[in-house]
Amino acid sequence: MKLYCDPISTTSRPVLLFVAEHRLPVEIVHVDLMSEDNRSAAYLALNPNGIVPFLVDCDLRLGESTAILRYLADKIGSPAYPREPAARAKADEALDWFATNFHSYFCTMTIYPNFGVPRGLDPAVAQGLIAYGETRSPKWLEILDRHMLGGRPFVCGDQITLADYLGASFVTLGEAASFDFSPWPNVVAWIARMKARPHWDATYAGFYGLVSGLRDAAAAQA
Ligand SMILES: N[C@@H](CCC(=O)N[C@@H](CS)C(=O)NCC(=O)O)C(=O)O
């Protein structure tokens, strides 16, 4: 199996953490987003979407971080994607919740425009998006804090599921914009729990390197 990804990508890190924790025999192929490797003819021939992550397993060509997580978990029978129908439905619900509502309002609107993502976004539009996202994100963080976590260790209860791998990457993206999570103590505790996992530091090293670079650049401009 080959996983095309970049550790600076918010949707690659959940898959990378899952692969590392489960010691999966996956060859990691670095698609350097900064160098625009994802726009090369060779990569576009493989994945016309030009995005990461992307998995190749024999004849299977698979995009979408959530589909890749589900596929890998099913392949090895990981308890992080429960087989019992009701438990699986709750894991799917949380995965889809992060990938849709949370990602839209928090990642796409509130955080990414601080860094010129998506590329070419008009600065005035970016400021408007951030301002709008900041009014909407608290609703979703409140739901995560009170209703999904509610003092439980993981978003679906006592056991980690794929939703934790995905959600932890989306939430910690906020650190790149120094987002203040203190009003949501269950979220803060959950993130600390995820960060304590053995492979977190190695998986997230590229992301935190980028974050400190962004902070240095902002400090130099101030
Ligand atoms: N819905 C997709 C989103 C993947 C995605 O947008 N990846 C970004 C990095 S986080 C990317 O490759 N961007 C490159 C580009 O748009 O040029 C997933 O969950 O896998």
Whether 117 lines ligand 1, by a CB cut-off of 6 Å, is no
- pTM score of the predicted model: 0.97
Q: Whose CA is closest to atom 10 on ligand 1? A: 9
Q: Residue 184: name the closest of 87, 96, 106, 70 by CA.
A: 106
Q: How far is the C-alpha of 173 from the C-alpha of 80, rounded, in Å?
A: 22
Q: Residue 105: name the closest of 144, 147, 69, 151 by CA.
A: 144
Three-state DSSP state, 205 = helix
Give domain limits for the chain: 2-76, 85-221
Return the CATH architecture of domain 85-221: Up-down Bundle (1.20)
- If one residue of 3, 9, 51, 71 were mutated to test the ligand 1 pocket, choosing by the most ligand atoms within 8 A of its CB, it would be 51
Tell me whether the omega of the peptide bond preceding residue 53 falls within 30 degrees of 0, making it cis. yes
Q: Residue 193: name the closest of 159, 147, 170 by CA.
A: 159
Q: Whose CA is closest to atom 15 on ligand 1? A: 51
Please give the pLDDT value at position 55: 98
Q: Residue 69: name the closest of 11, 155, 2, 156 by CA.
A: 11
pLDDT per residue over 63-112, tens digit each?
A: 999 999 999 999 999 999 999 999 999 999 999 999 999 999 999 999 99
Is the pLDDT reported for residue 221 higher than 80? no
Q: How far is the C-alpha of 204 from the C-alpha of 195, rounded, in Å?
A: 9
Please give the pLDDT value at position 214: 83
Q: How far is the CA of 51 from the centre of ligand 1 (A)?
A: 5
For residue 195, report the phi and psi dihedrals to the nearest 5 degrees. Answer: -70, -20
For the chain, the straight-line distance linking the first and the last C-alpha, in angstroms and rounded, comes to 46
pLDDT per residue over 9-60, tens digit each?
A: 999 999 999 999 999 999 999 999 999 999 999 999 999 999 999 999 999 9
Return the CATH architecture of domain 2-76: 3-Layer(aba) Sandwich (3.40)
Four-point Cα dihedral 214, 43, 7, 142, nearest 10: 80
**Quick one: average pLDDT of 2-6?**
98
Do 85-221 and 2-76 have the same topology in CATH?
no
Do residues 18 and 68 touch, judged by C-beta distance below 8 A? no
Please give the pLDDT value at position 58: 98
Please give the pLDDT value at position 219: 80
Whether 37 lines ligand 1, by a CB cut-off of 6 Å, is no
For residue 130, report the phi and psi dihedrals to the nearest 5 degrees. Answer: -60, -45
pLDDT per residue over 150-175, tens digit each?
A: 999 999 999 999 999 999 999 999 99
Is the pLDDT reported for residue 218 higher than 90? no
